[in-house]
Amino acid sequence: MTMKVTTATAHFLLVFLASTISHSVICSALGNETDQLSSLLEFKNAMSLDPEQSLISWNSSNHLCSWEGVSCSSKNPPRVTAIDLSHQGLVGRISPSLGNLTFLRNLSLATNRFTGQIPASLGRLRRLRSLYLSNNTLQGTIPSFANCSELRALFLDGNELAGGLPGAGDLPVGIEALVLSSNRLAGTIPPSLGNVTTLRKIACMNNGVGGGIPGELAALRGMEVLAVDGNRLSGGFPVAVMNMSGLAVLGLSTNGFTGELPSGIGGFLPKLRQLTIGGNFFQGNIPSSLANASNLFKLGMSDNNFTGVVPASIGKLAKLTLLNLEMNQLHARSKQEWEFMDNLANCTELQVLSLEKNQMEGQVPSSLGNISVQLQYLYLGLNRLSGSFPSGIANLPNLIILALDDNWFTGSVPQWLGGLKTLQSLTVSYNNFTGCENLQHIELDHNNLSGGIPPSFGKLISLKFLNLSHNKLTGSIPMLLGDLQLLEQIDLSFNHLRGEVPTKAQRLNIVVDVSDALAYLHHNHQGPIIHCDLKPSNILLDDSMTAHVGDFGLARFKIDSKTSLGNSVSTSSFAINGTIGYVAPECAIGGQVSTAADVYSFGVVLLEIFIRKRPTDDMFKDGLSIAKYADINIPDRLLQIVDPQLVQELSLNQEDPVATDENAAHCLLSVLNIGLCCTKSSPNERISMQEGSMLLDMEQRVLMEEIVTLLPVERAVATTRFVLGLLRTDMILHTGVACRDALEMRASKQLKEATHEDLLTPTPATLWRRSMTWTAWSGCWSSSSSQFTNSSVYVHRSVSPQI
Ligand SMILES: *[C@@H]1O[C@H](CO)[C@@H](O)[C@H](O)[C@H]1NC(C)=O
Ligand SMILES: *[C@@H]1O[C@H](CO)[C@@H](O)[C@H](O)[C@H]1NC(C)=O
Ligand SMILES: *[C@@H]1O[C@H](CO)[C@@H](O)[C@H](O)[C@H]1NC(C)=O
Ligand SMILES: *[C@@H]1O[C@H](CO)[C@@H](O)[C@H](O)[C@H]1NC(C)=O
Ligand SMILES: *[C@@H]1O[C@H](CO)[C@@H](O)[C@H](O)[C@H]1NC(C)=O
Ligand SMILES: *[C@@H]1O[C@H](CO)[C@@H](O)[C@H](O)[C@H]1NC(C)=O
Ligand SMILES: *[C@@H]1O[C@H](CO)[C@@H](O)[C@H](O)[C@H]1NC(C)=O
Ligand SMILES: *[C@@H]1O[C@H](CO)[C@@H](O)[C@H](O)[C@H]1NC(C)=O
Ligand SMILES: *[C@@H]1O[C@H](CO)[C@@H](O)[C@H](O)[C@H]1NC(C)=O
Ligand SMILES: *[C@@H]1O[C@H](CO)[C@@H](O)[C@H](O)[C@H]1NC(C)=O
Ligand SMILES: *[C@@H]1O[C@H](CO)[C@@H](O)[C@H](O)[C@H]1NC(C)=O
Ligand SMILES: *[C@@H]1O[C@H](CO)[C@@H](O)[C@H](O)[C@H]1NC(C)=O
């Protein structure tokens, strides 16, 4: 018996086998079969972990053809024709010995943890038809498969492969599918691929491939899928694509393509089913010829520079399920320009519609209500929509996400919204609901300032995210919201909720709008929180103060000298009186007011929240401020001064320091330290915004979020609103710019790393903006504070559920 053994183990096993297995098996174990056996045993031997014991059957008591994942031909002697060991959790290297299984046709090792290189010996498998090595951690370059003349499908996606794409010289004539997505491939697309005319699918998403799409690819007439999303490709719209008349999927998103789309695109690509070109620099109009691609079901054109109107012909796309046009410069100003909305009623399969961040104007046509009842995701935010809350939405009973933020809607939030039983996320922040930006509006409109949160919101049983911030909502927060079991995040900040309507009395009762944190803090207090006596002549200041106190308990003391109020000393001292305790020392003595004063006030609020003592508390007198109080007690008497309820909720035990959760204490200390840094008596000693330093760095945020996770739900909600307030506040204080930029960068990086499905989801391009505040929440989902990035991704996914 001739044996080729390369390792001692295989040798041992073979000897073992030879001496123990039945005679009949030995008789058939000639030549090739011995090779097969040793190849497979080599393969098994190269495994360092087999958590599911997938290879336990690979032993001498069974013929190799009955080993798990191994298939043989029925001929005699039987030949190994397929190995399928995908999804087994296997850890190890791919043994080059597989290259000796000359009859192998199918090899799938996808979704394991194979490391190392793809053995070049696989390139010897002349009969190989399909090779699936997807979703491992393979490294190195892609070997040549030129001699695998039967190879049709090569799936190497989801690894860490580097180097360039294989060209014609490394691929067999006849290959149909080349899937290389999500690796670390670089270089350019080889023009020689144009010679591999059997190609039907090229997927190379999420790599670092640059250059353009070579014109030579025009020869690939049989192409059905060309997906190169998430690379560094550039140049104009690839004309080669226009020759691929059978193309069903074209993915160019998140690259650097420029120029206009060919006006006849829809005519050239009549079979197109998916077109994703978001995240490029395309400009010009959306070609109305797209309507000729009547099979289109996903159309993603977000985050480009498209101008003009949405073609009315879009209604011809009867199979459309996703239409994402967000982040362009599309406009709709007249009934005619809004015609597309009427025609969308024809798209009876539509599930996702985003027009977010364009220049849509005026009242949303009521034909919105004729859109398919299938619609689940509707994004109209960041436009210039006005008028009342779009009534058509009442006809969309299956909505899951509704985003109307950053528009100019007025009126009240309708009661019928409560009927949207599937709604998980509602964002109506930054509108002008019953709104007014200045005094004139207050005077004109104050009778309309009656909009509250409809009690019907208590019926939104699926609701997870509610953002009604930055409106002018009044009234009390419906207690029923507390019954919503799934609610994870609620942001009602920057409203007049829990407040009272200003009236034009001589004496004017102004209930200063407060941050949610303060609202919570004073939840049990009856009456106004900060109650000021205003003179009519002071009302303008009051308005600005209201706005700013609403922006987090901070009065806007810095009065721009260019405004009519510029030198109004009396009003400013009035303001100071009204919010005593929050005011920086330099303000109180009439000194130069700077943004550092805001920092001080911010710090006071921070301390207030965690110490749960108002800065106006009786105990703070004779030079003892809340800041000083904190300063002298921290860190030594930390647990004695923080809110006892919080201490209890955090299970911090003062008597038994051993039982103290160090992490929680550390969190508290971090937060309170920030408060102390903000409330230094000298403006110069406070955290400097000029230097662009962030008020709370990422780590500190995460720490604070950790505190939130430790809190019981009710309190977590309130505290979280506070965290959100922090994010906002530091934006207001300019420090947030750096933070926002960082988040934006992070988000766009994640975009690059996102999977194709992610790229097809409606919101990735605007992810950062929507999730910016939500990122503050990420700690709540993340068990580990060090996983900020990952948890942001999680947020992203949760914001944009797969469809
Ligand atoms: C397997 O056996 C066949 C003949 O039985 C021979 O042609 C072929 O070269 C052998 N292959 C290997 C790898 O030994
Ligand atoms: C595989 O075949 C090569 C020759 O092609 C030989 O050198 C090697 O020992 C074989 N490996 C095994 C495990 O049989
Ligand atoms: C050999 O494989 C069988 C299953 O086919 C398994 O039950 C048995 O435990 C294995 N023997 C060893 C020694 O692993
Ligand atoms: C090999 O894969 C092809 C398609 O990829 C499939 O049709 C065929 O059934 C597979 N053969 C085996 C033996 O698994
Ligand atoms: C690889 O992973 C992706 C994402 O998880 C999945 O969609 C794909 O089906 C996997 N591929 C294989 C061949 O298992
Ligand atoms: C392909 O086969 C030819 C002829 O047997 C050989 O010269 C060449 O080295 C092989 N290429 C690879 C990449 O194995
Ligand atoms: C395609 O193949 C032909 C013939 O082998 C060759 O002349 C040509 O240069 C190849 N084209 C590319 C782009 O590699
Ligand atoms: C692409 O199509 C155009 C006209 O539709 C034709 O002139 C050109 O030859 C085609 N290119 C290739 C490489 O087939
Ligand atoms: C987008 O288009 C506008 C108007 O055509 C132009 O001013 C602007 O430079 C373009 N921006 C980019 C990034 O191409
Ligand atoms: C609506 O669809 C029908 C057929 O599906 C088509 O004939 C008609 O032109 C479409 N209407 C609009 C306004 O696109
Ligand atoms: C809504 O707010 C925007 C931005 O502040 C403003 O320009 C617009 O005039 C307002 N619209 C209405 C109807 O109040
Ligand atoms: C502010 O308070 C001081 C002292 O309490 C008082 O004299 C002054 O009149 C107050 N200013 C206003 C505008 O109410």
**106 Cβ closer than 6 Å to some ligand 4 atom:** yes
Residue 259 CA to ligand 8 center (angstroms) comes to 21
Residue 30 in tokens: 């000639």
595 pLDDT band, cuts 50/70/90, is low
CA of 84 to the centre of ligand 1 (A): 23
Q: Which atom of ligand 9 is nearest to the CA of 281?
A: 14
The rounded distance, in Å, linking the Cα atoms of 95 and 88 is 17
Which of the four pLDDT bands, split at 50, 70 and 90, describes residue 210? very high
Between CA 517 and CA 490 the distance in angstroms is 12
Its sign, for the CA torsion 214, 215, 216, 218, is: positive
User: Whose CA is closest to atom 9 on ligand 12?
Assistant: 574
Per-residue pLDDT band for 724 (boundaries 50, 70, 90) equals very low
Contacts of 217 (CB under 8 A, 6+ apart): 189, 191, 193, 194, 223, 238, 240, 241, 244
Which residues does residue 211 pair with via DSSP β-bridges, in sequence order? 233
pLDDT mean over 42-61: 94
The model's confidence at residue 651, banded by pLDDT at 50, 70 and 90, is low
d(CA 405, CA 240): 40
Active-site option among 157, 483, 533, 543: 533
User: Is-contact 462 424, C-beta < 8 A?
Assistant: yes
Confidence of residue 662 (pLDDT cuts 50, 70, 90): low
Question: What distance in Å separates the CA atoms of residue 239 and residue 241, rounded to the nearest whole number?
Answer: 5
Confidence of residue 636 (pLDDT cuts 50, 70, 90): confident
* 627/253 Cα distance (integer angstroms): 52
**Given pLDDT bands bounded at 50, 70 and 90, which one contains residue 522?**
very low
Question: Mean pLDDT lowest for which of 113-122, 742-751, 761-770?
Answer: 761-770
pLDDT in tens, 244-254: 999 999 999 99
Query: What pLDDT was estimated at residue 156?
Result: 98
The residue that leads in pLDDT, 253 or 787, is 253
State the pLDDT at residue 664: 60
Cβ(205)–Cβ(190) under 8 Å?
no
- Quickly list DSSP for 718-735: HHHHHHHHHHHHHHHTTT
Question: Where is pLDDT greater, at 43 or 7?
Answer: 43
pLDDT band at 264 (very low <50, low <70, confident <90, very high): very high
Tell me: pLDDT of 266 over 70: yes
Least confident of 128-132, 722-726, 774-778: 774-778
**For residue 636, how many other CB atoms are within 10 A of its CB?**
9
At a CB cut-off of 8 Å and minimum separation 6, what does 554 contact? Answer: 548, 582, 598, 601, 602, 605, 729
Per DSSP, the three-state class of 215 is: helix
pLDDT of residue 28: 36
pLDDT-derived band of residue 620, with 50, 70 and 90 as boundaries?
confident
Q: Is the pLDDT higher at 528 or at 52?
A: 52
Q: So what's the pLDDT on residue 320?
A: 96
Flag the least confident range among 232-246, 265-279, 561-575, 600-614.
Answer: 561-575
Of the candidates 620, 639, 640, the residue with the CA atom closest to the CA atom of residue 628: 620
CA dihedral of 768, 770, 776, 782, whole degrees rounded to 10: -80
**Mean pLDDT value across residues 50-63:** 93
For residues 42-47, give the mean pLDDT.
95
Task: Tell me the average pLDDT across 716-739.
Answer: 35
Question: Residue 794 burial by CB count (10 A; 0-12/13-18/19+): exposed, middle or buried?
Answer: middle
> What pLDDT shows up at residue 594?
54
Confirm or reject: Cβ of 108 under 6 Å from ligand 4.
Answer: no
Pocket test for ligand 9, best of 258, 280, 283, 358 (most atoms within 8 A of CB): 283
412 CA to middle of ligand 6, Å? 74
What is the DSSP-derived secondary structure letter of residue 348? T
In this prediction, residues 335-348 reach a mean pLDDT of: 96
- Residue 182 pLDDT: 95
Task: Please give the pLDDT value at position 15.
Answer: 33
Nearest CA to ligand 12 atom 14: 574
Angle between helices 698-710 and 662-678 in degrees, nearest 10: 130
| CB proximity list for 100: less than 8 A, separation 6 or greater | 35, 36, 38, 39, 121
Dig out the tokens for 764 from the structure: 């990735």
Q: Which of 10-19, 107-116, 399-408, 643-652 has the lowest mean pLDDT?
A: 10-19
Question: What are 478's two structure tokens?
Answer: 């419906």
pLDDT at 558 > cutoff 50: no
Which atom number of ligand 11 is nearest to the Cα of residue 408?
Answer: 1
Measured CA to CA, the distance from residue 622 to residue 617 in angstroms comes to 12
Q: Given a cut of 50, is residue 142 above it in pLDDT?
A: yes
Predicted local confidence at residue 433, as pLDDT: 67
- Give the residue among 313, 339, 311 at the shortest CA–CA distance from 325: 311
Q: Show Cβ contacts of residue 622 under 8 Å, excluding neighbours closer than 6 positions.
A: none
Mean pLDDT value across residues 120-140:
97
Given this model, what pLDDT does residue 414 score?
A: 87
Please, which pLDDT band fits residue 596 given cuts at 50, 70 and 90?
low
Token reading at 547:
């706005």
Active site residue 533: yes
- What is the predicted pLDDT for the residue at 482? 66
Q: How far apart are CA 300 and CA 279, in angstroms?
A: 9
795/180: higher pLDDT: 180
Please, which pLDDT band fits residue 207 given cuts at 50, 70 and 90?
Answer: very high
Per-residue pLDDT reduced to its tens digit, 457-468: 888 888 887 777
| Cβ atoms 251, 205 nearer than 8 A | yes
* Residues 753, 183: Cα–Cα separation, whole Å: 10
The preferred substitution site among 3, 32, 33 for testing ligand 1, maximizing ligand atoms within 8 Å of CB, is 32
Q: What is the pTM of this model?
A: 0.66
Domains and CATH numbers, the chain: 450-497 (no CATH), 504-701 (1.10.510.10), 709-791 (no CATH)
Mean pLDDT computed over 360-388: 93
Percent of the chain with pLDDT over 70: 61
Could you tell me if the CB of 263 is within 6 A of ligand 9? no
Task: Read off the pLDDT of each residue in 592-612 and give the average, rounded to a whole number.
Answer: 66
What DSSP designation does 188 have? B
Residues 714-743 have a mean pLDDT of 34
- CA nearest ligand 9 atom 6, residue: 305
> How many angstroms is it from 243 CA to the middle of ligand 8?
6
Ligand 11 neighbourhood includes 388 CB (under 6 angstroms):
no
Q: What's 418's DSSP letter?
A: G
The whole-chain average pLDDT of the chain stands at 71
Q: Tell me, in angstroms, the distance from the centre of ligand 10 to residue 332's CA.
A: 21
Question: Which residue is associated with the tokens 């509704």?
Answer: 402
Question: What letter represents residue 71's amino acid?
Answer: S
